[in-house]
A and B are shown apart, each in its own frame.
Chain A
Amino acid sequence: MPTLRFSRKRTSRVSSAIAAMHAAILIITFSALTLGCQGGGAKNLTVWTYDSFVSEWGPSAKLAELYAKKTGVAVEFVSKGDGGALLAELKNTGAKAEADIVIGLDNNTAPLALATGLFAPAKLPNLAKVDKKLIVDEKNRLVPYDYGDFAFIWDSESKITPPASLEDLTKPEYAKKVIIMDPRTSTPGLGLLAWTEAVYKDGWRDYWKRLAPSILAMTPGWDTGYGLFTKGEAPLVLSYSTSPAYHKAYENTERYKTLAFAEGHSAQVELAGILAASKRKKDAEKFLNFLLSEEAQALVPETQWMFPANAETTLPASFSVVPKGIVTLSASIADPVGDPDAAAAILSGSAR
């Protein structure tokens, strides 16, 4: 067979192509090595939770470390995305979920979660130290581990006077000055919906109609909305009463202030529960109990930026900026499936 030689000038095109192929080979080898490591085994106690819980700034790493030191049991935290995704994942996998514990549902998603029948009652001694108001389920299938009031945060460096009630927000001086979250895709949005339903009862739809002109943006999640707020897009944002503590702790500023409305606030109570299908219910119970202990609860404020459920936990200094004595309303959503859509539609309708 005659050998063929095509004389090819080493053009820069070919050189770049060769460089790219070298890079490709490096990547493949590297990936092959790391792809194999899936890590973890069935022996660990598995906890399903949401993103910020497992992030470097969340409590999971410390909790696992403390618990391992105490009991020698390894706990693995797996994130399923954000809060809403957690519930959806549960509904999809049902009894086949490879988890023992779920951390991250809240009082608004609890009814749907409990209806799945996937959770088992837990006997937790530390539950006695939790404020009775926070208990969502008598059977203790879902127990509270932290809570926070939804509140509007005000930028004190803006030129507006802070509103004192939900109704105040509808005043013309606040037109396009409020950022809220979408009740269809975020728990703060749901919280606001529950809040308005608690305060206005059947008249909540009218309230949303009046609120519409004040809304600058309705973001899909808390993070985008709060990001817009800190960038100065609007002076008022729906968030948690504990948000200013972060700024106090990390930025040493008291610029952002929680507005306490006299009529009361709705709250988000975050819940954890043991899955009935778990094969390590006893171990799970022990861990959940640990979660409610002072030691574990002390981690909550400056990682979750929420109040610890265990009333006997000492709060860090940064929480001094959070107003005490916020009245927490008992708030729920009448129609969890239809109301969020209705609320969003009311806002869009008025925006035309």
Chain B
Amino acid sequence: MKSGGRKLLLAMRFAALAIIFLPLGSFVISALAPYPANNAGLEPVGPGTGAARGAFSMAFHALLAPLASSQTVSALRFSLLQAAASTLLAVIIGLPGAYFVASYEFRGRKPFLSLAAVPFCLPPILVILAFILYYGKNGLFSKAIGAAGIAGAGGGFLYSFWGLVTVHAFYNFPIIIQNVGSVWGKLPKSREEAARTMGAGPFRAFAAGSLPQLLPSLLQSASLVFLFCFFSFTIVLVFGGLSGSTLEVGIYRAIRFTGNRQLALALAAVQTAIALIAAGGFESFSRKGAAVSKGFGAVAPRKRPKGATRTAIAAYELLTIVFFLGPLFALVAEAFTVRGSMAGAARFGFGNFTRLLGPGTPLVKALLNSLSLSGLAAILATLFGAALSAAEHYARSGRRSTWIALLPLAISPALVAAGLSALFGSGGRAVIVIGQLSIAWPFVARSMEASFGALERGKNEAARTLGASPRQAFLLADLPLVAPSLASAGAFAFSMTMGDANIPLLLGGGATETLPLLLYRLTSSYRFSEACAVGIILAIATSVVFFVKEGTNEPS
């Protein structure tokens, strides 16, 4: 099994690296390919000519100039600043939730944990729409606090640096709750109690006893949130546009508007360098966290909250509903708001939906396209991610690390899309599948890694002693245990690919219309209420993950 397992692992790793680096490589080549240094749209120099090599090195040197330019520096600074501030705020908001979820049994605990799927599944454009509908000048929230007599925060807050940071923090804090909360829940209390008996008050005891073990998990989730905010694109453009722009925006512009691929490459290099540091941090904190959770000791069972704690939890849930779920609710309300005529008031109705089912039935077509393309991408991503995880687990049982799955997290999506279209040409259906598969499989691989890691070798070995071959042992002993998390990871991948608007957009749309693309086209055609209607359908499709997760009871 060992040598076979090793070969399989190498093959899977090779495939993963290929998926990651082929688009990247094709982009790099297209950027460094023989274009003259001042790419103002002149004729490309043909390869094979003597001038080609000269032009190549010219292009390479062209990379150095943008790297040092003030734009790059300020974009880098802004990217780091907003990501750091957003992460900090997300941690501050999320930690109390993590504490509650870990220590207490209360109504709404499971939904809290499922909330963490939202940042992965809701496309940014929906988030933006939702936030505007809720926190904007005429938003539900602003109107509500206005009616209550509390002065609003001022219209410009959302569009300032701190507005951006707040949006990011609200979008991502459930990740903290889920990751830190699950580790916290498994922490044995004995170290805290030991500190108490030695004279430490409750807070000091927490700091000495539990915090050192929570820290790796906290830093791990913080790294993840940092990565998401660092690569944030649409949200930054809308809410942070005035205070600065991130590297990703710069790359996007360079590729799609000025056609300056060298600049894009230079910016991407800086971006990936930073992201790799964050991803590396994520990996090392994950390992430390894994070591901690293997420590022994009795874990106190969760108790029902009493008194002040119960009030605190209720307050926290209320705040979450008001500030986090509120915007989503506003989205739903908007979808059912029909503005037949401005003279009359807006009324509740299905008009937005029926208009979409009108001539050409764009909604149905887009839905089917999405289901088939994104569905296929999700299935492929699940199979591939799980296979890679399995290969890692069985070939190197003991030390598990699908670090390969982290690499995609450090690469600019705009770059990947550009590389893919250079390879395959944009506009085809297959490219969309490949593109979405590339974004989803790393998450499947990481979550399956945890499941495979939790497999006790004992059951597999017991099967072997009873006469099973390695393959049979896998099928009969391990697979049934892993199957629920496989389904859960698959549902998660499905939500990601369904909700992904980036790949179809960045690939230029083409002839295939998916739900997210329909959404964008609606917003480009003045039809915002209908866009919300499509948004609801999209949100329902991506929320399938909640139901499957409930069914499989997977804390992930």
Contact = CB atoms under 8 A, between A and B. Distances in A.
A and B directly contacting (CB within 8 A): yes
Given A14-B484, A233-B136, A92 B422 contact: yes
Interface string B426-439: 11111001000000
Contacts of A251: 339-342
Q: Is the interface of B mostly helix, strand, loop or mixed?
A: helix
Interface in B224-254: 234, 237-239, 241-245, 249, 252-253
Interface in A266-313: 305
Nearest to A37: B429
Interface stretch (B192-200, B296-304, B505-513): B505-513
B362 A20 contact: no
Contacts of A8: 480
Contacts of B238: 217, 219-220, 224
A234 B372 CA distance: 40
A232 to B, nearest CB: 4
B487 A17 contact: yes
A174 interface: no
A1 B467 contact: yes
Contacts, number: 239
Contacts of A21: 487
Interface in A122-143: none
B41 A253 contact: no
B477 interface: yes
B551 interface: yes
Given A81-B509, A228-B136, A253 B342 contact: yes
Given A27-B372, A28-B376, A351-B243, A231 B524 contact: no
A238 interface: no
B243 A6 contact: no
A60 to B, nearest CB: 11
Interface stretch (A50-58, A144-152, A325-333): A50-58
B472 A88 contact: no
B42 interface: yes
Interface string A12-37: 11111101110010011011001100
A231 B527 contact: no
Interface residues of A, number: 88
B423 interface: no
Contact of B483 (A4, A17, A30, A38): A17
B138 A231 contact: yes
Contact of B428 (A12, A38, A215, A228): A38
Nearest to A21: B487
A115 B551 CA distance: 59
A336 B491 CA distance: 46
B41 A24 contact: no
B525 interface: yes
Contacts of B466: 2, 4
Contacts of B40: 112, 115, 337
Interface residues of B, number: 96
B332 interface: no
B371 A27 contact: yes
A216 interface: yes
B528 interface: yes
A233 B139 CA distance: 9
B128 A224 contact: yes
Given A52-B521, A92-B30, A341 B71 contact: yes
Nearest to B506: A81
Given A85-B256, A233-B155, A253-B341, A15 B551 contact: yes
Contacts of B456: none
Contact of A31 (B129, B244, B373): B373
Q: Is the interface of A mostly helix, strand, loop or mixed?
A: helix
Interface string A223-241: 1101110111110000000
A116 interface: yes
B354 interface: no
A247 to B, nearest CB: 7
A210 interface: no
**Highest count of chain A CB atoms <10 Å: which of B42, B133, B487, B517:** B487
B148 to A, nearest CB: 19
A253 B368 CA distance: 35
Given A55-B524, A92-B422, A232 B429 contact: no
Contacts of A19: 551
Contacts of B428: 38
Contact of A13 (B360, B528, B553): B553
A251 B351 CA distance: 13
Contacts of A185: 237, 249, 252-253, 257
B483 A14 contact: yes
A31 B343 CA distance: 46
B156 A38 contact: no
Contacts of A35: 372-373, 376, 429-430, 433
Nearest to B517: A51
Contact of A253 (B258, B343, B362): B343
B155 to A, nearest CB: 6
Contacts of B480: 6, 8, 14
B243 A20 contact: no
Residue of B371, B426, B526, B551 with most partner-chain A CB within 10 A:
B526
Interface in A100-123: 112, 115-117
Nearest to A32: B376
Contacts of B505: 81
A281 B40 CA distance: 27
Given A20-B491, A232-B136, A13 B373 contact: no
Contacts of B429: 34-35, 38
Nearest to B477: A6
B490 interface: yes
14 contacts: A15-B551, A20-B490, A27-B379, A30-B375, A38-B428, A51-B524, A94-B44, A220-B249, A224-B237, A224-B238, A231-B138, A232-B138, A348-B242, A351-B160
Given A78-B511, A92-B30, A176-B156, 17 more contacts: A17-B487, A19-B551, A27-B378, A28-B375, A30-B375, A31-B433, A51-B509, A51-B521, A57-B525, A80-B510, A81-B505, A82-B524, A112-B41, A218-B241, A231-B137, A232-B138, A234-B137
Interface of A: 1-2, 4, 6, 8, 12-17, 19-21, 24, 27-28, 30-31, 34-35, 38-40, 51-52, 54-58, 61, 78-82, 84-85, 87-89, 91-92, 94, 112, 115-117, 176, 182, 184-185, 215-224, 226-228, 230-234, 243, 246-247, 250-253, 255, 305, 337, 341, 344-345, 347-348, 351-352
